[in-house]
Structures are given as structure tokens and as C-alpha cells.
Amino acid sequence: MRGSASKCSQGVTRIRTPSSSRRTLRDLLAEAEARIERLHPTDAAAAVREGAVLIDIRSDGDRGRDGVVPGALHIPRTVLEWRLDPDGAWRTPHVGGLEERVILICDHGCSSVLAAATLLDLGYVRAGDVVGGFAAWREAGLPVRPAPRHGRAPGELPGMHPPEPA
């Protein structure tokens, strides 16, 4: 589902003046959506069964409130690029190389659009997201469970913990 329109740009005003090179949020979202693979929740679940890595980029608070997807790797949006930078010193050991299929899931499928496009810029060739995010995943009746109560170990960086048990 590459480049489909989404709810993410609803309510975002399109402003373009001839003398301005400014791109609006609507522009950025449309450009990102056209570049990434957008998967409906059931298709994303099938991709994970086939070996794709599902990365939950939601905050700890959202995960604590709403639950988690079993088997998902949690890398908060705030550190995603650092954990997936192929040459980075703070790269997570839980994601393979640039050829690995990576699917991001956020709360409602908006911030994951821009984040997945950034992963393409980092060199990933198969980056996408879940249309509708965690809310759509849960609504589709896919597996969800309460967030684990474990916190980070002293000195553990955010986004370095292994995936949630499946």
C-alpha cells in the first residue's frame, strides 16, 4: 500500500507561496507516504511471521497505558535513528542489516510515516509502517498484552532492550 492517503494530514493546512521553499507538514507526510511501504495491521502481522522486524516507536507512557505487541522491539521515536544507524556507536544489536524488512508502529500511524522515510534515508531498503498504528492493530483483534513492568537497567540506553517475548 505505497503512497496511500492517510488521516495523518487531516486538519493540516496546505500553504505554498511562489517565493517560499517551505514545505508543510502535509507535504512532508505525502512525500514520506509515497516512499515507504504502508501495511494494514493484518498484512504487517503476516510480514512479521515471515521475518520482518516490528519496531514499536511509542513512548513508555503510551505502551504502559495501551499495552504492547508481543514480539515487537521497542525503540522510542526519540532515539530511533541512533539505534538503527548502520555505522552508529549506539546501534541496537537486535536489528540486522540494511536489507532487513523493518516495520514501524506508532500510536495512530502518523509519526511512523516520517520515521520510516528517515530509515530509507539511512539506507534501509525495506522500511514501512502500520496504517492506523497500534490503535488499528488492536482494533483488528491482533495480539496485544499489557506492557512489561521491567524498566531499563542502570546504564541501559533507551531502545537497547531485546524484543518483547512473543
Q: Which residue has the higher pLDDT, 1 or 85?
A: 85
By three-state DSSP, how is residue 96 classified?
coil
Give the mean pLDDT of the chain.
90
Domains annotated for the chain, with CATH where assigned, are 23-139 (3.40.250.10)
Q: What are phi and psi of 55, to 5 degrees?
A: -115, 120
pLDDT reading at 50 higher than 60: yes
Q: Which residue has the higher pLDDT, 77 or 17?
A: 77
What's this model's pTM, rounded to 2 decimal places? 0.86
User: For residue 11, is it left (φ>0), alpha (ψ between -120 and 50) or beta?
Assistant: left
When pLDDT is averaged across residues 161-166 and rounded to a whole number, the result is 81
Instruction: Report the pLDDT value the prediction gives residue 82, as an integer from 0 to 100.
Output: 96
pLDDT reading at 123 higher than 80: yes
Cβ pair 159, 76 in contact under 8 A:
yes
CA dihedral 145, 8, 48, 160 (to 10 degrees): -70
When pLDDT is averaged across residues 49-58 and rounded to a whole number, the result is 98
Query: What amino acid is encoded at 30 in this protein?
Result: A
Place of cell 494494514: 40
Rounded-to-integer distance, Cα 137 and Cα 69, Å: 9
